[in-house]
Amino acid sequence: MTDTTWMSAADLARDYRRGTLSPVEVVEASLRRAERLQGPLNAFVLIDRPGALAAARASEARWRAGAPLSPLDGVPTSIKDTTAVAGWATRYGSLATDDAPASEDAPVSGRFRAAGMVLLGKTTTPEFGWKALTDSPISGTTRNPWNTARSPGGSSGGAAAATAAGISPIAHGNDGGGSIRIPAAQCGLVGLKPSFGRIPQHPADSPFADAISQGVLTRTVPDTALALSLTAGADARDFRSLPTTGRDWTVGIDGGVRGWRIGLSLDFGHVTADPEVRELVAGAARRFEALGAHVEDVGPLIAPLKESFEALWLGGFAARLRTIPTQMHSRLDPGYLAAAQKGLAVTLADYIRAYEAKAKLARDLAQFLERYDLLLAPVTPTPPPPVETLYNSEAFPRWTKGAPFTLPCNLTGQPAASMPAGLTRDGLPVGLQMIGPPHGDAHVLRAMRAYEGTLDWRWPQAALTNL
């Protein structure tokens, strides 16, 4: 039998079409791997074996009849546990949430199902997606398949661990401050945060709903583009969703970057990454010069984020905390509780000043990207941190270690992606961030694909072969 562990979604679909692979055998293999790796990685909060196999059998029948629902019919995937799937609870990594099953699918999970994709289960997240690590009171600690003593990043850490471990080629994630890009970087994956509203969200009841983009983590750029084609487009339940265009996002991604003018900011926002991260990102950026682009160091480019935007971050946590009964507070992640309690002191004036700064940041980056075709930066200041790291502690503050390089694009809504930049001397992945102009998703995908063609980054990576 074919080993499907490291196959891309596009390759699975090709073999389904030829009749040389069955969705049932692929999904069965994915389930076995998910169940076997649950102990060492803890990537899932729910694995739905009966539901996944039923969906795989239905997909197999469609392929045999020559009537697949989409190019990704029968491809296994998963949904992050911040997002509704009808019949499954949405716990947000928290013991303070309701365990009742959702009554309807969120747009992204509904579109996965409508495309015939097979939902293996739900992946882990830190409580309310609050941090760029993945551990929570409800599911414990998720570990990085490259080194299980390290975090896979967050908040889409379960999705990243599952994808990097060969459980599925595509996993849903969402990104409100770097939560797709950070785990993609720290697990050696491809992670696109599309433009805000490109993929609709519902319910949008998070205090950070105007910063969150839905998306996927994958191992290849074509798989990312295929998934975007299936999930992009308006939904009446999300008034902020962008219009439906019916665009095939795989078209045009091979156009290259020759003649592009590209900015490189190794100290984006006046944050200095670890020397090894800087070295790898600078080396990755030079690949664009070999592709015919001109790369120019543009300096820190934007002001430090903390002074302007801490009110949004802490105030959002406080808004959530006010909805949780006091008797449940002792069951919350202590780090989340401390940040939310600090946020209770945020005033309306503080919040409005932060929104004014948000508008200025969006204007400044949009104007920069009128002069440049792309902006490159690190994704994270450090390689994957140890799993016992305390987020937003003195040793790992959010504004200089957690998400300083990724948050700006959540505040502005523009597309940004993570691509592998290489491995540290300890064999840990580092990511290169690619930032495009407002609504420039096609632009970013084109840069991602050009860069991917320069990489010797094959799956499985050596560190993952013994999983």
Question: Roughly how many angstroms between the first and final C-alpha of the chain, as a whole number?
Answer: 19
Burial degree of 66 (CB within 10 A; 0-12, 13-18, 19+): exposed
Q: Which of 89, 187, 117 is nearest to 419 (CA)?
A: 187
- Which is catalytic among the residues 80, 131, 193, 401? 80
Spatial distance between the Cα atoms of 197 and 174, rounded to a whole number of angstroms: 12
- Which is catalytic among the residues 155, 213, 241, 308? 155
Which residues lie across from 170 on neighbouring strands? 218
Spatial distance between the Cα atoms of 3 and 109, rounded to a whole number of angstroms: 27
At residue 210, φ and ψ (nearest 5 deg) are -90, 10
Which positions ≥6 away from 397 have C-beta within 8 Å? Answer: none
Q: Which two tokens stand for residue 216?
A: 């996927």
Catalytic annotation present for 330: no
Catalytic annotation present for 156: no
Give the Å distances, CA to CA, from 235 to 1, 78, 180, 199, 414. Answer: 41, 21, 22, 9, 20
Name the one residue in this structure whose structure tokens are 């902006």: 375
- Which is catalytic among the residues 94, 109, 139, 179? 179
Catalytic annotation present for 22: no
Q: Which two tokens stand for residue 456?
A: 């010797």
* Residues designated catalytic: 80, 155, 179
